[in-house]
Amino acid sequence: MKAIISHDIDLLTVWEHKNDLAIPKLIVRSSIELAIGSIYSTEYLLRFKELVENKLHNLEELMEFDKEKKVPSTFFIGVNKGLGLSYSLTDAEYWIKRIMEKGFDVGVHGIEFNDLKAIKTEYESFKQMSGLSAFGIRMHYLRNSKNTLEFLNKAGYIFDSSLYK
């Protein structure tokens, strides 16, 4: 059996969510979890520290852990916005290159799943940013339709890690 470790990158900064409810939901959910005892006060404070530091991820730490433990991982970065995936293309490009510098595989965290033209646009955006000619995709929220796999193949993706059984 071969294990495939994938990291979907949904959040990068606090500021990318200034126009949605992600941050208020994080605050309310964390407060409820603290009140009912499902998290400790140290976890609660760490979550607020991330907000203050404008960092909603631990990508550097995760890459260091995976490298140290020899975990073969693929990181999936969005190159389109939707469904709470809101970071800028500049941030996406930075992290695509940073992940590649660290020696990990990187692919598209796809938003489009039911429109061949839009799927091709995501593919081409990622290809241009990464300089890669072969890469895969993992759909945001694992969305798909009866045509998704055919469209992904036509766009040029070499694999899709969205489907599960």
- Distance from first CA to last CA of the chain, Å, rounded? 15
| Per-residue model confidence (pLDDT) at position 2 | 67
Residue 133 corresponds to which tokens in the numbers above?
A: 């000619």
Q: How confident is the model at residue 165 (pLDDT cuts 50, 70, 90)?
A: low
pLDDT above 90 for 19: no
What is the tens place of the pLDDT at every residue in 102-115?
999 999 999 999 99
Residue 155 structure tokens: 């766009």
What tens digit of pLDDT does each residue of 119-161 get? 999 999 999 999 999 999 999 999 999 999 999 999 999 999 9
For residue 55, give both structure tokens: 């960092």
pLDDT value at residue 1: 61
Q: What is the dihedral of CA 125, 131, 135, 141, to 10 degrees?
A: -40
